[in-house]
């Protein structure tokens, strides 16, 4: 699903990714690591937001920043979420649904428990913005959903709901989840990748890597 070969990204004097080579298959995949370790940079390159400084990455066998067909097949929730404030949630989500060719805004809102679609985004709390960001990634029925820190700024109830949503949808979609919180997500993912200091330092099946994660973090 995603293949990277010697993937490197520099921001002036900072090397965010340093020669990462990895193959990420279909399924529910989790990338963990410390803040600033490079995991969100990896997601943004895979989503076509950044271009690599050197090396190569393919999503569904194509360049994510130059092939429009790739972008129609992926949905992305960034952290922190950013939106135009004076439109409603419904208006914002409809843009993404139309771009992906399926008007399923109401269905996704129901799944995520969003009952404030017709309010202007400027009035949303941080938790409401997080749910809207997740809805943005899910509308239009994308095949691959990329979630950057989906559990950040949520209370225990919100964390439970988001994990339940991933569990419910994982049979029909693939997920790439970026998170520094790994314990709540481990029961619902297939494979785990650890990126720290810009490098891939560990990877393995979710059922086999817990001891490694506890040793590293």
**Residues of the domain holding 86:** 2-216
pLDDT at 142: 93
pLDDT at 127: 84
Assigned token pair, 78: 């960034």
The C-alpha atoms of residue 94 and residue 114 are separated, in whole angstroms, by: 14
Bond before 80 cis per omega within 30 degrees: yes
Reduced 3-state DSSP string for the chain: CEEEEEEEEEECCEEEEEEEEEEECCCEEEEECCCCCCHHHHHHHHCCCCCCCEEEEEECCECCCCCHHHHHHEEEECCCCCCCCCCEHHHHHHHHHHHHCCCCHHHHHHHHCCCCCCCEHHHCCHHHHHHHHHHHHHCCCCCEEEEECCCCCCCHHHHHHHHHHHHHHCCCCEEEEECCCCCCCHHHCCEEEEEECCEEEEEEECCCCHHHHHHHC
pLDDT at 97: 92
Rg, Å, the chain Cα set: 17
Write out the chain's pLDDT in tens, 217 residues: 999 999 999 999 999 999 999 999 999 999 999 888 999 999 999 999 999 999 999 999 999 988 778 888 999 999 888 899 899 999 999 999 998 888 899 999 998 889 999 999 999 988 889 899 999 999 999 999 999 999 987 888 888 988 999 999 999 999 999 998 899 999 999 999 999 999 999 999 998 998 888 888 7
Strand partners, 59: 2, 62
Instruction: Please name the residue that has the structure tokens 């410390």.
Output: 34
- Model confidence, pTM: 0.92
pLDDT at 153: 79
Q: Which domain CATH number covers 139?
A: 3.40.50.300
pLDDT at 192: 97
Assigned token pair, 146: 């990329």
pLDDT at 25: 97
Domain count, the chain: 1
pLDDT at 102: 87
pLDDT at 42: 97
């Amino acid at each position: 699903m995603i293949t990277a070969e010697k993937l490197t990204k520099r921001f002036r004097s900072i090397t965010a990714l340093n020669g990462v080579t990895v193959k990420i298959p279909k399924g529910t995949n989790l990338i963990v690591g410390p803040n600033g370790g490079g995991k969100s940079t990896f997601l943004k390159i895979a989503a076509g937001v950044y271009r690599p400084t050197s090396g190569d990455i393919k999503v569904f066998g194509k360049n994510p920043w130059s092939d429009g067909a790739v972008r129609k097949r992926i949905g992305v929730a960034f952290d922190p979420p950013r939106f135009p404030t004076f439109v409603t949630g419904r208006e914002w989500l409809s843009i993404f649904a139309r771009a992906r060719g399926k008007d399923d805004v109401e269905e996704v809102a129901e799944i995520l428990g969003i009952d404030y679609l017709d309010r202007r985004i400027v009035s949303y709390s941080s938790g409401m913005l997080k749910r809207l960001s997740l809805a943005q990634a899910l509308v239009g029925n994308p095949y691959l959903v990329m979630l950057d820190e989906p559990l950040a700024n949520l209370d225990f109830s919100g964390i439970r709901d988001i994990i339940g949503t991933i569990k419910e949808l994982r049979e029909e979609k693939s997920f790439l989840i970026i998170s520094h919180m790994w314990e709540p997500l481990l029961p619902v993912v297939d494979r785990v990748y650890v990126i720290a200091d810009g490098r891939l330092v560990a990877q393995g099946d979710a059922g086999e890597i817990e001891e490694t994660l506890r040793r590293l973090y």
